[in-house]
Every structure is written in C-alpha cells, then in structure tokens.
A and B are shown apart, each in its own frame.
Chain A
C-alpha cells in the first residue's frame, strides 16, 4: 500500500519525500487543478526540480489536472498534459473525459489516474474509465463505507486509492455546485471552493465575528469561539427553527483506525488531503502515516495515542471523523 501525500510548494514536496511519502501529488500554477489558490503550486522549473528530488530517492510525483475545461480552455489543459509528460511525471490525475482521452491517445505510456473529481463510485463506472481511457488507478470519492470500499477492491477492475486523512469534502466530489451557487466559482471549473477573495470577516461590538461568502452569512462566532474557514458545507444555518452545522461541522477525515482493514481490502494507495496546507502539516502528517504503515507492514498492528493526538491537532476544527467509511456518519 502506497502513501500519497500533497504538496502545494517545492519545500512541501521535499518535506513529504523526506518524511516517507511514496508519491507526492502536485498541480501547475493555473486552473488545471483543484487547488488553484493564489501563491500555491508549481512552475515547470519547480516541478522539474521536484521530480528530480523524488526520483533520486525512488519516489514518484503525480500531477493533478483534475478540473473541467470549458471548450475554450481545452487547449490549455491539453498543453498541461503535454508539459507533465515532457517532465516525466509518474502519472497524471484527471477527471474530464476530454482530458483523459487526450492523455490516453497522445501519451499512452503516461499512467492516468482517475481523479476523485471524476465521481467514480462503482465498479461499473470504473470499468468505463478503464475501457475508455486505460486508467491505471482510481481515486474514490468520500462517499463509500469501508464495506463498500472492500467490495470495490474485490471487483479488481482497477487499483483503488482512497482518502486517508485531511479536510473532508462531504459532497460527492465533482458533483458539488455549492461554491459556484454563491460565488460563481466552482471546484470543477475554477479549481477552488469558497474562494478567499469572496470571504469577509466582520467584527460586532461584542467581539463576535460574522463571516460571509459573497454577502451570504456562513457563520457567526462568539468572541472566544474558534472560527473556521467558511466553506459553504461547514457553516451554521437555521433549519426547522434550530441553528446548527446543518451539513457538516468543521472536521477532518482520519482513517488511522481503519488502516489494517484498508490494507486487508487490497487498497493500492492512501491519499492525504491538503495541498493548500503548509510544510509543517505535510511533514507531520506524512511522518505519522509512514510510521503507522511501516508498523502495519512489520507485524501486529497497534495505533499510538500520540499519533491520534497529533493528527487531531492538525485537523480542521481540531476534530476528526471516520466520515463516510463509518455508517453512523451517514
């Protein structure tokens, strides 16, 4: 089982490699990937250096080209596939049918992974991507229970990568328009969710803070209350006369407790979310998961309380969940 870690910058890439990532996934500095944040991501020169660093240590680099181009944008996405191929990346991670098709035809020897943004949740859907585009791996949306992940692996249509840790998208990836409904910019088209340029914080006389997204109130925090980033799905709203986190709380996915089960299921790779997070996050999370996976490989599995404490500290809202892997979350 491979550990696939995020990097939003060259130092984060080196940190992930140094702390034991088997592969690092990155994006170009444009809208071709789903973390198109200002100041984040890689120039071609950055990526070339990063790939050399990874390959010198026997590790891999994947490039996420996982947004959906409009017709006018297709040429730019195809050019990004060409750039990735020329740099000898180990795989491209794509969602759009047109981009996958181009990569398959133009660069048949460049492995193609189906991005989580491709919303492939069944063996039948994965069969489509295998037959149509020869994908070598599929990243599965965060909707399946662990039993469903086990059954999907049993089908052996294609090697499966699942999310292990990080901020939790609670909607089927690739099928969420909440951000575009409010801001006009979506993960699918613009590579951003609830973009920072639409966020506004206002302090009230009593010290409370209101946070809005393009004029829509997402939450209000008391003076002493910790405040999270206002993604639409993690705000507090009024439903049936009560105010609560109607969709989801600020929380991170953490599947450390499921590690032996995911291994036994035959999952090919575990993905850590967080290209938008800093070097310290990447280093700490990679180190913990590397140790956990090495321990699992060595013999009988036991988790360590210290690992969990540290992961909780790094989690969104300082809390973690097994998310959809566990039925009680549904």
Chain B
C-alpha cells in the first residue's frame, strides 16, 4: 500500500503551509494532495500559489494531486476550480460533481474525493466512464462495503482510505467558527487561522464530541486505522491517507511508513475507528 498526505483541512498562515509542504516533500510518502477544500475565503495561498507549491513538491519525486473545494456556491469559486482543472500537469481530486463535470468535459482523468457520494459499484462505474482513476472512499465506508465493491466491480480503480486524522463529517453554508466567535461570515476576520487543528466542541457534560473548522464539522477524535493496516491490505486498499495536523506530522508519517515497510503492527494511538467496522464513526472497536 502507498502512503498519502491528504489535503490540509485547516487554515494556517502562509509560511506555515509552505514550511509544512517543503518538509512533507522530504517525508517517506508516495502521494501529496494540496489545495483548499473547505473555504474559498481562505486566501493565505491563492490558486496560483498552490500550483507553484505543487510544482515544488513534485520536484521531490512525490506524486502530487490538486484537491478541489467540497462545497461550491459562487461563480468565483467555479472560476478558481477551472484554473485548477486546467493546470495542465497535475491530477485533480474532484470533491464535488462540479469538478467531475469540468474534468470529464475536458477528457481529463481524476481522483474521486471523499465528499463525492459513491456508495455502490454502479455509481463507481459511471464515474470511471467519466475519467475516475482512483477513489478516496467517503468517511462512512466500512470493510463490508469495500468487499461489496470488490464483488460487484470487474475493474476497480485504486482505492484510498483515510487512516489518520480528524475526518470531515459535514459542510454548511454557515461558518461555525464565525458563529462561535459571534462574527458574521462576511466579516469573519479569517479567525479560523487561530485554530490550527480546529475548534473543539464538547457536550454539556464535557465530553469531546466534534471539531469545528469553518464551514466544516469534523470528528473530535482522530481516526486511527494503524492497527488495521493488515486488514486494509487484505481488503484490497491501495493507498492509505494521513490528514495533516499542526504538530508532529513527521512522526505520524514515520510510524505508518515503518508499519507499511514490514515493521511490527502499530499500537492504537488515535481514538476512533468505528466506520471501518460498520459501527458509529466515533467508536473505537477492538478487533
């Protein structure tokens, strides 16, 4: 299985983003996804900046994929998406049907992102006709669903699954970070930049429950399928995805790399793995 760095979901200062990807280009990973997937108002890096960074990372020999926005509302967002699609060099991760349409109408191959709804082999085949070469499974897909895909498809594309990090659960027109800070979204002051790993949300009795990240809601705990890597391999998963976090990402990469290279099975570090077992995502299942 190959190791990938998923798109950065948070809003970090420009220098931090650039430093992160310059470091990532030296990490023992196979694929690096770059680009803004959450909020088009986040402009520490413009589309042009992301493309330049992509070229820099690609020079290290890593495969680079440009990730697109999950929720599109404005014409300006479609214009940015067009620039991404027409980059002329890198594969695009389509996180919305708008991106699929742009890519298929230009005859370009693409990666299907986790916010596309691909729940069965018929949907997958149609997207393969459109140019899908790799599918990142949506967060709630289980081991059972992967087996069903395999049984139903004669020519499966590459399958990728998130194995580390806070998973995206929902997207809204509303910015929950702005709401929490009592700010209007149109005048948000880009305050999500103050929460490099999102803003924690707890139940009224103090249990960590969700993470707020602008217009996105994430899991509170970190998904960790490290101990399940052998199971993932047996299920036919081709790539495993690590979602960026503000600190200690190099160590996360090193742990997964060692396990993929034949090291001992990983101990559980993250809090959640329920989806893989067909259970509520927030649960931790011990195999």
A330→B40 CA distance, assembly (Å): 14
| Chain B facing A: main interface SS | mixed
Q: Which among A120, A182, A239 is the interface contact of B212 at CB below 8 angstroms?
A: A239
Query: Residue B202 at the A interface, CB < 8 A?
Result: yes
Establish whether residues B73 and A188, one from each chain, have CB atoms under 8 Å apart when the complex forms: no
Binds B, one of A5-13, A14-22, A123-131, A280-288: A123-131
The reply to whether B186 and A237 form a contact with Cβ atoms under 8 Å apart is: no
Interchain nearest-CB distance for A269 vs B (Å) = 21
Q: Which of A71, A177, A220 has the most CB of B within 10 A?
A: A71
Q: Does B71 contact A120, Cβ atoms closer than 8 Å?
A: no
Q: Is the CB of A121 within 8 A of B72?
A: yes
Measured CB to CB, the nearest residue on chain A to B100 is A128
- How far, in Å, is B124 (CB) from chain A's closest CB? 8
Q: How near does chain A come to B228, taking the closest CB pair, in angstroms?
A: 17
- Is there a chain B Cβ closer than 8 Å to A247's Cβ? yes
- 0/1 per residue, B68-102, Cβ < 8 Å to A? 00111111011000000000000000001110111
Instruction: Report B175-204 CB contacts with A as 1/0, cut-off 8 Å.
Output: 110011100111000000000000111111
B152 contacts partner chain A, Cβ-Cβ < 8 Å: yes
B119/A238 in contact, CB under 8 A: no
Given A239-B200, A243-B204, A247-B217, A69 and B282 contact (CB-CB distance below 8 Å): no
B120-150 CB contacts (< 8 Å) to partner A: 120-123, 125-127, 139-140, 145, 148-149
> Does the CB pair A98–B145 fall under 8 Å?
no
- Known: A124-B101, A183-B280, A330-B185. Contact between A188 and B75, CB under 8 A? no
Interface string of A57-70 (1 = CB under 8 A from B): 00000000000111
A254, B213: Cα distance in complex, Å: 27
- The size of the chain B interface, using a CB distance under 8 A, is 68
Q: Which residues 274-330 in A have Cβ within 8 Å of B in the complex?
A: 324, 327-330
Contact B186 A128 (CB under 8 A): no
Q: B174 at the A/B interface (Cβ < 8 Å)?
A: yes
Is A87 located at the chain interface by the 8 A CB criterion? no
The segment from A30-38, A40-48, A143-151 that touches chain B is A143-151
A329 to chain B minimum Cβ distance, whole angstroms, is 7
Cβ proximity bits B251-287 to A, threshold 8 Å, 1 near / 0 not? 0000000000000000000000011001111100000
User: Which residues of the partner chain B approach A188 to less than 8 Å between Cβ atoms?
Assistant: 117, 119, 140
Q: A238 to chain B: which residues have CB within 8 Å?
A: 201-204, 206
- A170 close to chain B: CB less than 8 A: yes
Residues of A contacting B74 with CB < 8 Å? 148
B169 within 8 A of A: yes
Q: Which residues of B contact A145 (CB under 8 A)?
A: 73, 173
Q: Are B71 and A175 in contact, with the CB atoms below 8 A?
A: yes
A231-284 interface (Cβ within 8 A of B)? 233, 235-240, 243, 246-248
Contact B73 A237 (CB under 8 A): no
Q: Could you count the A-B residue pairs with CB atoms below 8 Å apart for me: how many are there?
A: 210
The answer to whether B200 and A217 touch across the interface, beta carbons within 8 angstroms, is no
Least CB distance from A131 to B in Å reads 8
Q: Is the CB of A71 within 8 A of B117?
A: no
- Interface size bucket, A side? 35 or more
Q: Are B173 and A144 in contact (CB under 8 A)?
A: yes
CB < 8 Å neighbour of B126 from A98, A176, A178, A243: A98
Nearest CB in chain A: distance from B202 CB, A: 5
Complex Cα distance, B278 from A145, in Å, reads 36
B119 contacts A69, C-beta separation under 8 Å: yes
A136 contacts the other chain (CB 8 A): no
Query: How close is B219's CB to chain A, nearest CB, in angstroms?
Result: 6
A73 proximal to B (CB < 8 A): yes
**Given A98-B126, A124-B101, A68 and B117 contact (CB-CB distance below 8 Å):** yes
- Per-residue CB contact flags for chain A residues 84-117 toward chain B (1 = under 8 Å, else 0) read 0000000000011111011000000000000000
Question: Does the CB pair B207–A247 fall under 8 Å?
Answer: no
Q: In the bound complex, do residue A328 and residue B184 qualify as a contact, i.e. CB atoms below 8 Å apart?
A: yes
Task: Flag whether A181 is at the interface (Cβ < 8 A).
Answer: yes
Could you list which residues of chain A lie within 8 angstroms of chain B, going by C-beta atoms?
68-74, 95-99, 101-102, 118-122, 124-125, 127-129, 131-132, 142-145, 148, 151, 170-172, 174-178, 180-184, 186, 188-189, 214, 216-220, 233, 235-240, 243, 246-248, 324, 327-330
